[in-house]
Amino acid sequence: MVNTNEKLAIYNVWANETLLRHLDKTVAETGQPIPANILRLFSHVLNAQYIWVGRLTNTPSPVKVWQEHALEELHRMHGETSAKWVGIVRAADETELNRTITYTNSAGDAFTSVVSDIFTHMPVHANYHRGQVAIKMRDAGLTPINTDFITYCREMDAQGKDHMSL
């Protein structure tokens, strides 16, 4: 049976890595830094990953939801949180999937969410903002990259790789 949560978590790692490599390539090709509005959106994606890992493990997040980071820092953040996120998803049994957590968002509002909903939210949220990054890149005269889920699946198939491994 396919573990959709795990597959989406691994896809999310691939999409973030793909975008990071593309941003690096863009800097190398243009000789210009990535525009701040693009870094702000992608910072938000990785900040959210830190924050959700913290909420699920009951540990404080070292970042704020809209804190901005340089490209080099985004690489570090991705490396630090991605394996943790996939590990949390892989380790989740039925009890964990149905567990609820209570947390406070950046506006100070309290919420309670089911872990399985958070597992769905993370890649969907990241996709939304990666789409915004693509639009901002095009607006800046830069070439965006496709990080769609089906693109990931096609790439894994073409490489003969399992969709469930990092």
> Domain total for the chain?
1
Q: Is residue 126 part of a domain?
A: yes
Domain holding 15: CATH number? 1.20.120.450
pLDDT of amino acid 72 = 97
Q: Is residue 10 part of a domain?
A: yes
pLDDT of amino acid 1 = 60
The letter for the amino acid at 16 is N
Q: Is residue 119 part of a domain?
A: yes
Structure tokens of 84?
């943790």
Q: Is residue 166 part of a domain?
A: no
Max distance between CA atoms of the chain, in angstroms, equals 50
Per the CB < 8 A criterion, the answer to whether 8 and 123 are in contact is: yes
Q: Is residue 165 part of a domain?
A: no
**Domain membership of residue 60 as a residue range:** 4-159
Categorize the per-residue pLDDT at 65 as very low, low, confident or very high, splitting at 50, 70 and 90: very high
Mean pLDDT, residues 133-145 taken together: 97
Residue numbering of the annotated binding site for a divalent metal cation: 44, 125, 129
Which pTM value belongs to this model? Answer: 0.94
pLDDT of amino acid 8 = 96
Per the CB < 8 A criterion, the answer to whether 50 and 19 are in contact is: no
pLDDT digit string (tens) for 19-40?
Answer: 999 999 999 999 999 999 999 9
Beta bridge partners of 73: none
Residue numbering of the annotated binding site: 44, 125, 129
Q: Is residue 76 part of a domain?
A: yes
Categorize the per-residue pLDDT at 132 as very low, low, confident or very high, splitting at 50, 70 and 90: very high
Q: Is residue 28 part of a domain?
A: yes
Per the CB < 8 A criterion, the answer to whether 69 and 46 are in contact is: yes
Roughly what angle, to the nearest 10 degrees, separates helices 71-91 and 36-57? 30
List the one residue out of 154, 52, 53, 41 whose CA is nearest residue 106. 52
